[in-house]
Amino acid sequence: MFLTLPPELHLLIASDLSFPERAHLRLTCRYLHTLIAPMKHTELLAAENTDFAVARDLYACRYCLRLRHRDQFGDRMLRRRRGRRGRDAGRRFCVQCGLLPREGGEARYGPGAKVTLKGVAYVLCRECGGLRVARVLRGAVLEVCENCSGWMYEGSY
């Protein structure tokens, strides 16, 4: 049985596999998850160009070092130079990582930050702190969400 083999053999077998088989093997149990090293950023960037990743709309995030579905990224992270095979694909990060505070600093998406997800403008609201649908006023995205910007329209109807 596979799991009764010595760890050296597991590592040897894993090193022979490419993406996505190695990633799948790593996910089969806790032991293999610990034994087999996670993919490095450069490996993830190569993996995102495989047929497997293209067919599933997966992209690499530089901070959580995972392949994630395109829905987890702001639209700008998937376009042009940060798109697949783009020159700056290595600088792409997911929304979740963007919202996390940096080590000893602010989040990449700080208060008032605007993120477009699947064509919809969101804002990290300066009032309630949530990532909410933004209010767009004459083409400009406000730094507070629709809910929190409601008072601006009192009496205008």
CA distance 76 to 56: 19
For residues 32 and 145, which CB has a smaller minimum distance to Zn ion in the complex? 145
Rg (CA), the chain: 21
Q: How many residues bind Zn ion (CB under 5 A)?
A: 10
- Is the preceding peptide bond at 20 cis, omega within 30 degrees of 0? yes
Question: What does each C-alpha distance from 30 to 25, 27, 34, 56, 111 come to in angstroms?
Answer: 11, 7, 6, 25, 38
Candidates 25, 58, 97, 115; binder of Zn ion (CB under 5 A) is 97
Query: Would you list the DSSP string of 108-129?
Result: SS-TT-EEEETTEEEEE-TTT-
Element (H, E) at 78: none
The letter for the amino acid at 153 is Y
Candidates 61, 113, 124, 142; binder of Zn ion (CB under 5 A) is 61
Q: Does 75 bind Zn ion (CB under 5 A)?
A: no
Shortest distance, CB of residue 122 to Zn ion, whole angstroms?
Answer: 11
Scanning 48-56, 74-82, 108-116, 138-146 for contacts with Zn ion by CB under 5 A, the matching segment is 138-146
DSSP designation for 123: E
Q: Does 95 bind Zn ion (CB under 5 A)?
A: no
Shortest distance, CB of residue 21 to Zn ion, whole angstroms?
Answer: 23
Residues 23-52 that bind Zn ion (CB under 5 A): none
Q: Does 117 bind Zn ion (CB under 5 A)?
A: no
13: nearest Cα among 38, 35, 42: 35
For residue 76, give the 3-state DSSP assignment.
Answer: helix
Candidates 94, 115, 131, 134; binder of Zn ion (CB under 5 A) is 94
Shortest distance, CB of residue 125 to Zn ion, whole angstroms?
Answer: 3
Shortest distance, CB of residue 8 to Zn ion, whole angstroms?
Answer: 32
Which stretches of the chain bind Zn ion, using CB under 5 A? Answer: 61, 63-64, 94, 97, 125, 127-128, 145, 148
